[in-house]
Amino acid sequence: MADPLPVAGVDYPSTYQELLAWFPDDAACAAFLEQLRWKNGFFCPGCGGSAHWRGADGSLVCRACKRRTSVTAGTIFHRSRLPLTTWFAAIWFVTSQKNGVPAFGLQQALGLGSYETAWSMLHKLRRAMVRPGRDLLSGLVEVDETYAGGVERGVDGRHTDNKAIIVIAVELVQPKGLGRVRMTPLRQAAQAQLLDFVARSVDKGSVVRTDGWNIYNRLGAMGYEHEAINVKGSGSPAHVVLPGVHRVASLVKRWLSGTLHYGISHDHLAYYLDEFTFRFNRRHAAHRGLLFYRLVEQALEVGPHPMRELVGGTADPYML
């Protein structure tokens, strides 16, 4: 049975004023994190025991093995020098702004001492925007590639030297509309990478609609119902034949240009796409506070990321 949908004003603050009232100090933030991390009650990560007491520093101590556990241990908040109230304010700003917030803007809003601190916070939060074990796309799904970046001269078709290749999958909702999306950057549009992306993104048995490129011909043998449309032979432009994926491609390019001003780094692009996906898939949320709730929830499922790892960018095999 799925968990009930969180309620605004009950499970999460619905306004910034409520955020300040709910979380006046780190103790209130930690109590909220405990409710999210151990929804069915605390269990020791060492022995699995549930009996515990609270230490003077606020940590939970297992009565069986005496292991001491902090609610922030093993999360993106692990050993952070910043107060939890600052983290909660950052998450609110990130999720309440439709197009996100740049590092400089976050630095100014929170009064942070350096641009690097704001930049690292944003990149840690982006790593929490993809929920581990998230549901795969299903139903009718369009798949295609697009290219983002500056203008390239003398380059045709699917060959590119400097632009970022982005493969996109989007659900089509009948009779009209778009569902959820998945996307990832590629170094090259190779068959193994494209088919692996579909396998990791779309549930078996779904209808996968692509253009007529023969690189997708193996989808039928992989357990999908493959609909291949010959764009050139159809007499219609690609955005008419595959309207969903081209609509998403247009939106993500516009978002990237506004967020990165076309300064696309291959090393970090995957995480910007994760942020776009997080926002797009929750675009119909009645309250922006629900996005705050979800990002805090997911931040507890993602391990800590030191600065040297953030600077290094993605270790996604697609991008190696």
**Which residues share a beta bridge with 52?**
62
Q: pLDDT per residue over 248-277, tens digit each?
A: 999 999 998 876 655 556 778 899 999 999
Q: pLDDT per residue over 180-225, tens digit each?
A: 999 999 988 899 999 999 999 999 999 999 999 999 999 999 999 9
Which ranges of 3-83 does DSSP label H, i.e. alpha helix?
16-22, 26-37
Q: pLDDT per residue over 165-192, tens digit each?
A: 999 999 999 888 999 999 999 988 899 9
C-alpha radius of gyration, the chain, whole number? 22
Q: Which residues contact 249 (CB under 8 A, 6 or more apart)?
A: 144, 146, 166, 168
CATH 3.30.420.10 range(s) for the chain read: 140-279
Residue for token digits 């990832």?
Answer: 184
pTM of the model: 0.87
Q: pLDDT per residue over 133-162, tens digit each?
A: 889 999 999 999 998 864 444 444 454 556
Instruction: Give me the DSSP letters along 127-165.
Output: TTSS-TTPPPB-SEEEEEEEEESS--SS--TT--SSSEE
Q: Examine residue 175 and say whether the peptide bond preceding it is cis (omega within 30 degrees of 0).
A: yes
Tokens found for residue 221: 């043998």
Q: In what order do the strands lie in the sheet with 207-211?
A: 178-186, 164-172, 140-148, 207-211, 225-229
Domain 140-279 CATH (choose: 3.30.420.10, 3.40.50.300, 3.30.70.100, 1.10.10.10):
3.30.420.10
Please check whether residue 178 is in contact with residue 252, taking contact to mean a CB–CB distance below 8 angstroms: no
